[in-house]
Amino acid sequence: MTAIIEPAIAQAAGSLVGPAIDGGKGIFNCLKRKYGYVRNMRKNFANLEKEEKYLISEEEDVMTKLDRNRLKMQQTNRCKTWLDEVGKLKGELNDLKTEYSSIRKSICGLCPLPGLMKLGKMILEKTADVVSLKDQIGKITIMFEKAPAAVIKKHAKKIKEIPSLNKHVERLQECLRNVELKRICIWGPLGVGKTTIMENLHDAVGESHKFDIIFWVNVNTNRNVREIQEVLLKRLDLKAEEHSNDQRADMISEELKNKKYVLFLDEVSSKINLREVGIHEQHSDGKVVFACRHRNSCGQTDEDINVQRLSDEDAQKLFQETVDLDLKNYRDIKPVARQIVNECGGMPHLIKLIGTSLKKVEVPAIWRNTLSQLRSPSKETKQELEEVYKFFKLVCDKLASNKRSCLISWAIFPVGYELHRDYIIECWKAEQCFTQSIKLGMARDEGHTILNEFVDQSLLENGRKVAHYKMFEHFQRVALRIANQDENSYRILVKERETIREEEWELANRISLVRLRLSTLPERPNGDKILTLLLQESSLVEFPKSFFVHMFNLRLLDLHDTKIRLLPSSISSLKKLTVLFLNNCRELMQLPAEVGDLCRLEVLDIRHTGIHALPAEVGQLTHLKCLRVSFVEHVGNHNQVGARPRDIISSNIIARLVSLEELSIDLNPNNGRWNQTLRGIAVEVASLENLTCLCFNFPEVDCFQTFIDTSKSLNGNNKLLEDNNLRSFSILIGYHQKSNPCTEFDISGCSAEKHLRFSAGDGFPDAILKMLEEACAFELIGHRTAANLSDFGADKLGGLEACIIEECNKMISIIDGNHTGDAAFQRLKKLHINNLPKLVHIWKGSIQAGSFPVLTILTLKGCHSLKTLFSQEIVLQLKQLQHLQVEDCKEIEKIIEDGSVVEPEVLPKLKKLELCSLPRLSNICQNLSLEWPSLETTIIKTCEELKNFPSTFEKAAKLGVIRCTQDWWNQLVWPNDNVKIRFQSFQQLIVI
């Protein structure tokens, strides 16, 4: 290339050099340098390509390291930025290569010199960028250790007072500590408490932090290898939808080979090939705990523990605690009680079930009658679970008819299935269990009461997630048996395999095909008797066109989490359909016009689907009481057909839904294209007279103020609602893109679902203050003027149970005691403070006694002006604080200010303390006599000046985990060797 272009360069340069000399040497040197850009272009470009290869090699090394350590480590934000910069630079280099290649092909001695000079200069500049970026990676931290995978607690019923069960938990903990034991089996008959033992062990293992990750799989009869893999993959955060079972097994094995893990397999009924799942004996730190009824169900194990029924002493003790009577004072009842306990056969669930039914009953005749019924032979042929059947049916038959229907309807769901409170209540309403409830809100109240009664009566138990419930497995199987004995009301078909005979469609009232791998459905089943059809979480992709033609009595149709792409036109036949769940059907792109024919529909849920607009026919659903929609995924997607703002919810759809009580519309207000649409919808929402529940994003305060002023449901004459307030709401006003967001706001512990978020505002608008009085949870994001929360008025904050304050740049304190007359935050349980650059006090001024009486969680991040977290006065108020997290506060020096703390039990309930990235923190508390009676776990990262930690927590008797770096540990000052030895026993090193 040089040979071709140099004559042209020389000629052009010659014509320029003369004038340049006349202008001085500076100009001459400038031109000479520019000429060098061109003359050395080929050499410079070769050097660029060489440096690019080095950069790409560094990028590949980083990606390999990230990939190999992704389970244990996570990349730093700086590493992510570096990778983004590399990707951007590679794109620029590709453009540069294209331009360079084009010049090489087109040049013929007459190429314009300025263009060549510009290209040559750019080559040198990009080379410098490549070298700089390549050198940076050696100076930044690529990864840091992930926090241990969060343990999803089972919230097991405590059994420390039941030695017959607790001894097994203690023995199992010893087995897990034994490095030689990899496969552990607990086995015993139905109902003896194996699951309770497993759940207690699971929670104990999680609290110990000795394992990197913990799995729990309920292996009921329809679980196969792939479904077990699904649970593990989800827990490991791995995507493998299109992979074969063998490929999945390899992925799981690779992720776990260097991890300490425990896999709990409950209700195992047949041997499981763990190698096919991805669990290998070569996993040196992996353990599996099985629970099964028969010893041979688990195959070869290293340790077997046989769980017997409760001892007589434990059974009597549990029964007496349940009936809540001192039986020795009831001479006519005491001998009957002993015989009833014997009939229960040492089975904890049955003891609690019957004991609950006799709770505080002092009439001997009732006790004798209960015993007589338990001893009478069943009229049914002897079957599996006969013993459980008698006990369950005895209690079930005592229930009112509507409650009995609610309980028996649980049989349609898969064993172990956890149901959200709102979902099961909507199902019960569709099943017409609430004969007196006209309003949906009234049904929710009645259903909530029934669920709590069932839990109190030991018929149901609370699920792992808040507001979820499940039925004990053996009760659920018995409920199905009872349901199918009632020819008039129930014929339930619960399928665990895909094949369904034609006559089964004809005979069943209720059909459950939950989680099945369905490939086809019958073309036109004769299902005129079907009232309920559950297809959720199945692999269903499409319906035959005429599938619903004969299902004119169907009331409940659940299709959530399926892969359906289209609803058939035959849904127009569902004239009695009351509830339709389509949430999480992400392949479903539109609702057919026939949805308008569902004239009795009361609940429609189409959240998180591919649906981009509501058809106008939805406005015909005048009986609709609950509508839940979301369109977040399509915001900003210009390629989405029909996603234009004016089409997403056409005018006069919402206003026509005159029966609507509950409305949830999730639109992203970040995109201004939706603002006018949201304003129009808000006007229609305000016209609804029966609204009791609202989830909505108001783009601006004035829009929200207009709603508050004009809402018929808030300002009308509805006497059923006290003060015409909303029963529940999640209202978001304004939008502010958080630069460093807190964890997802969790309001699950609040007594009512009333959530208010005010973003990017200023001042204290009347509408906000009015709604704040009703809110249980409040987020204040990016407020531009508030100096503290007291500016909103102390009387407005009294009902708050959870609060987040983020990125409020003018905020100096959270509460100003000078503007607070009474004790503040009397109901607040959770307080999250994030990125308040000017915050210098949690509480300013004098503090009233009784403030923060129930605060249990406090997190504080990114507050760089704060030097002391707690004053002497405020720390004495925090009697219930259990979790304290302080992170990334550059100036903080003390947690508790210096002074004489008289009470030795400061923060008496504190269980977990996290201190991270606090470079100037040198002291937690000056008083070394504090007892820290509840402290169990501490996490310390990047707190180099905190050297007196051992002396501060020397008296913390329950302290069992110290997670920290080795460097920090090495520079600690120890009061004596005994403390050092004790603390070393529960030290857990982390890597930053």
Secondary structure (DSSP) of 671-692: SGGGHHHHHHHHHHHHT-SS--
The more confident residue out of 378 and 878 is 878
Judged against a pLDDT cut of 80, whether residue 347 lies above it is answered with yes
The tokens of 617 are what?
A: 């026919």
Alpha carbon 851 to its chain centroid, in Å, reads: 30
Kindly give the pairing relationship between strand 532-534 and strand 556-558: parallel
**What's the one-letter identity of residue 716?**
G
Judged against a pLDDT cut of 50, whether residue 161 lies above it is answered with yes
DSSP state of 298: S
CA distance 685 to 730: 14
pLDDT at 15: 38
Angle at 463 between CA 460 and CA 469, to 5 degrees: 45
CA distance 146 to 70: 9
CA distance 694 to 656: 17
Q: What are phi and psi of 963, to 5 degrees?
A: -95, 120
Secondary structure (DSSP) of 410-435: GGGSPTT--EEHHHHHHHHHHTT--T
Residue 538: name the closest of 567, 570, 512, 569 by CA. Answer: 512
Note the CATH number of domain 163-306. 3.40.50.300
pLDDT at 385: 65
Label residue 63 by pLDDT band (50, 70, 90): confident
pLDDT at 466: 83
What digits encode the pLDDT tens for the residues 281-308?
888 889 999 998 888 888 888 999 998 8
Distant-in-sequence, close-in-space partners of 609: CB < 8 Å, separation ≥ 6? 582, 583, 584, 585, 586, 588, 630
- Asked if 611 contacts 643 with a C-beta cutoff of 8 angstroms, the reply is no
What are the strands of the beta sheet with 461-462, ordered from one edge? 419-420, 468-470, 461-462
CA distance 7 to 11: 6
**What's the one-letter identity of residue 182?**
K
- Asked if 250 contacts 273 with a C-beta cutoff of 8 angstroms, the reply is no
The tokens of 369 are what?
A: 């009658």
Helix spans in 431-517 (H)? 440-456, 473-483, 502-507
Size of the chain, expressed as the number of residues it contains: 992
CA distance 826 to 853: 6
Q: What's the average model confidence in pLDDT over 884-901? A: 88
Residue 698: name the closest of 791, 606, 761 by CA. Answer: 761
pLDDT at 796: 83
pLDDT at 742: 46
Q: How many CB atoms lie within 10 A of CB 535?
A: 24
Judged against a pLDDT cut of 80, whether residue 486 lies above it is answered with no
Helix, strand, coil tally for the chain in percent (to 5):
40, 15, 45
CA distance 745 to 260: 30
Angle at 479 between CA 474 and CA 481, to 5 degrees: 100
pLDDT at 162: 83
Q: What's the average model confidence in pLDDT over 740-767? A: 77
What digits encode the pLDDT tens for the residues 119-140?
888 888 889 999 988 888 888 8
Handedness of CA 783, 789, 791, 793 (dihedral sign): positive
Each residue of 662-672: b (16+ CB within 10 Å) or e? bbbbbbbbeee
**What's the one-letter identity of residue 713?**
S
Secondary structure (DSSP) of 202-239: HHHHHHHT-SSEEEEEE--TT--HHHHHHHHHHHHT--
- Asked if 370 contacts 358 with a C-beta cutoff of 8 angstroms, the reply is yes
Give the position of tokens 């969790």: 746
DSSP state of 609: S
The tokens of 752 are what?
A: 């009512």
What's the whole-number average pLDDT of the chain? 84
CA distance 554 to 557: 7
Label residue 720 by pLDDT band (50, 70, 90): very low
The more confident residue out of 625 and 741 is 625
Outline where DSSP puts E strands in 890-975. Answer: 894-896, 912-916, 937-941, 961-964
pLDDT at 627: 97
What digits encode the pLDDT tens for the residues 628-683?
998 854 433 333 444 455 568 888 999 999 999 999 998 765 655 667 778 889 99
263-267, 477-481, 661-665, range with greatest mean pLDDT: 661-665
Judged against a pLDDT cut of 90, whether residue 605 lies above it is answered with yes
pLDDT at 1: 44
What digits encode the pLDDT tens for the residues 314-345?
888 889 988 988 888 888 999 999 989 888 88
| Residues above pLDDT 90, as percent of the chain | 42
**What's the one-letter identity of residue 954?**
E
Q: What's the average model confidence in pLDDT over 241-266? A: 88
pLDDT at 639: 39
Q: Is 837 helix (H, G, I), strand (E, B) or coil?
A: coil
Q: What's the average model confidence in pLDDT over 18-38? A: 53
CA distance 312 to 317: 8
pLDDT at 812: 94
What digits encode the pLDDT tens for the residues 490-548?
688 888 666 778 888 888 899 999 988 877 789 999 999 999 999 999 888 999 999 99
- Asked if 818 contacts 791 with a C-beta cutoff of 8 angstroms, the reply is no
Judged against a pLDDT cut of 60, whether residue 256 lies above it is answered with yes
- Asked if 634 contacts 612 with a C-beta cutoff of 8 angstroms, the reply is yes
The tokens of 384 are what?
A: 């599996």
Long-range contacts from 106-109, C-beta under 8 angstroms, 24+ separation:
107/1, 107/4, 107/5, 108/4, 109/4, 109/5, 109/7, 109/8
DSSP bridge pairs for 289 = 184, 264
> Does the predicted TM-score (pTM) go above 0.75?
no
CA distance 7 to 228: 73
pLDDT at 832: 95
Judged against a pLDDT cut of 80, whether residue 871 lies above it is answered with yes
Helix spans in 457-573 (H)? 473-483, 502-507
Judged against a pLDDT cut of 50, whether residue 16 lies above it is answered with no
- Asked if 343 contacts 376 with a C-beta cutoff of 8 angstroms, the reply is no
Q: Residue ranges of the domains in the chain?
A: 2-145, 163-306, 377-490, 879-992
Note the CATH number of domain 377-490. 1.10.10.10
3-state secondary structure 110-175: CCCHHHHHHHHHHHHHHHHHHHHHHHHHHHCCCEEECCCCCCCCCCCCCCCCCHHHHHHHHHHHHH
- Asked if 699 contacts 675 with a C-beta cutoff of 8 angstroms, the reply is yes
Handedness of CA 569, 573, 575, 581 (dihedral sign): negative
- C-alpha separations of 710 from 502, 714, 732 in Å: 55, 8, 18
Handedness of CA 221, 222, 224, 227 (dihedral sign): negative
CA distance 936 to 685: 50
pLDDT at 670: 60
Q: What are phi and psi of 56, to 5 degrees?
A: -65, -35
Alpha carbon 605 to its chain centroid, in Å, reads: 20
pLDDT at 722: 46
DSSP state of 574: -
Handedness of CA 781, 785, 790, 792 (dihedral sign): negative
Least confident of 6-10, 93-97, 404-408, 907-911: 6-10
Q: What's the average model confidence in pLDDT over 262-282? A: 89
- Asked if 190 contacts 474 with a C-beta cutoff of 8 angstroms, the reply is yes
Outline where DSSP puts E strands in 233-355. Answer: 261-268, 286-292, 303-306
Kindly give the pairing relationship between strand 662-666 and strand 802-806: unpaired
Kindly give the pairing relationship between strand 213-218 and strand 728-733: unpaired
Q: What's the average model confidence in pLDDT over 728-750? A: 69
CA-based Rg of the chain, rounded to a whole angstrom?
34
Label residue 954 by pLDDT band (50, 70, 90): very high
CA distance 101 to 527: 70
Judged against a pLDDT cut of 60, whether residue 56 lies above it is answered with yes
Judged against a pLDDT cut of 80, whether residue 745 lies above it is answered with no
CA distance 559 to 579: 11
- C-alpha separations of 865 from 806, 834, 838, 952 in Å: 15, 12, 6, 25
Cα dihedral 742/748/754/755 (nearest 10):
10
